[in-house]
Amino acid sequence: MSFVPTDPLGLDELLGPEDLAVRDTVRTWAADRVLPNIAQWYESGELPAIRELARELGAIGALGMSLEGYGCAGASAVQYGLACLELEAADSGIRSLVSVQGSLAMYAIWKYGSEEQKQRWLPGMAAGELIGCFGLTEPDVGSDPAAMRTHAKRDGTDWILNGRKMWITNGSVAAVAVVWAQTDDGIRGFAVPTDTPGFSAPEIKHKWSLRASVTSELVMDDVRLPADAVLPLVTGLKGPLGCLSHARYGIIWGSMGAARASFEAALDYARTREQFGKPIGGFQLTQAKLADMALELHKGILLAHHLGRRMDAGTLRPEQISFGKLNNVREAIEICRTARTILGANGISLEYPVMRHATNLESVLTYEGTVEMHQLVLGKALTGLDAFR
């Protein structure tokens, strides 16, 4: 068999026909609907077609795709990962839309909600008719969610919710917000209709990363909720952390999509850009860069495959998710930076995807757990000693 530059390890051989069909469907959708517009959306700092895109993503089964029932596709973890890779190869903001919808908001309701909550929200969310968001991070509380200040107090059979959440993807376009709050019983989750009086979600502007993504603050001032708004099947941090594990898994794959797009842009440029009378891909230093980029890219994809198989087998541990997220995002950023050097000055142009992916990945590096948090998770697992406090 011949060597394939885009698949040097033959990783496609790990995929079955259904896996390939999922990957190709999402890749084609992203090529048709995102890539022709993404540079303009990124430059303008908006995602004007978000509701239309959500419906289209629902139509191809990409929303909550690894969940069972309620209109969800029931896909494997590997298939969901492949979808995340293809979406983030287009833009991290599009993958974030899907991750927050499916792995955070929908997963929280599917895993911890009542049957009534599932029937009310999940079919519309799977179809992309309803958009959801996930409210955990706060303005003064990021990596220490146990210190959250948002609180819910009982008032008869109702709950009164007060607080602020920050850096919330999909917030200002969501129909439902899954909000985590302190209560007298511990941390609880609430499915909050966003048209409830006292709830608002002003959009955050002036971002230099994830510009083609809707990012908001959630503001809750005496939001009165009925008793059945609370997610009944979980109390404590294991609820939001369980959701975050699913979202982090998608990032392991997605970050490799951003890296792949940047690597392929650099490889194509190196083959065609001439300097000193020949393509720059013919010089030793450029070839060394391309070789190193290919190594880290395909090692990262292989790691994602391995963790996906473990998730499908029910044996994936949170520490292993931290392993994957820490490695793959960090290496993806380095691949983008190296790709930028191959493109030279053109690397900062929106004509090419490299700088857009590089700046997006700076956000991906931080959200769903910073580098330091994942290092401490692994450090604790390796030593048996807790260094978080």
Backbone angles phi, psi at 143, to 5 degrees: -80, 0
Q: Which of 277, 176, 158, 280 is nearest to 224 (CA)?
A: 158
Distance from C-alpha of 123 to C-alpha of 69, rounded to nearest angstrom: 9
Q: What is the DSSP letter of 101?
A: I
Q: Which of 149, 144, 141, 138 is nearest to 388 (CA)?
A: 144
Render 175-213 in DSSP notation, one character per residue.
SEEEEEEEETTEEEEEEEETTSTTEE-PBP---SSSTTS
Q: Is 169 helix (H, G, I), strand (E, B) or coil?
A: strand
Q: Which of 64, 85, 179, 79 is nearest to 129 (CA)?
A: 64
Q: Which of 257, 293, 334, 304 is nearest to 89 (CA)?
A: 257
**Six token digits for residue 74:** 């029931």
Q: Which of 79, 84, 60, 81 is nearest to 71 (CA)?
A: 60
Q: What is the Cα Rg of the chain in Å? A: 21
Distance from C-alpha of 378 to C-alpha of 372, rounded to nearest angstrom: 10
Contacts of 223 (CB under 8 A, 6+ apart): 160, 161, 162, 192, 196, 197, 198, 199
Q: Is 368 a catalytic residue?
A: yes
* Torsion of the alpha carbons at 367, 128, 105 and 218, rounded to the nearest 10: 70
Distance from C-alpha of 322 to C-alpha of 379, rounded to nearest angstrom: 11
Q: Maximum distance among all alpha carbons in the chain?
A: 80
Chain centroid to Cα 367, Å, comes to 9
**What amino acid positions are annotated as catalytic residues?**
368
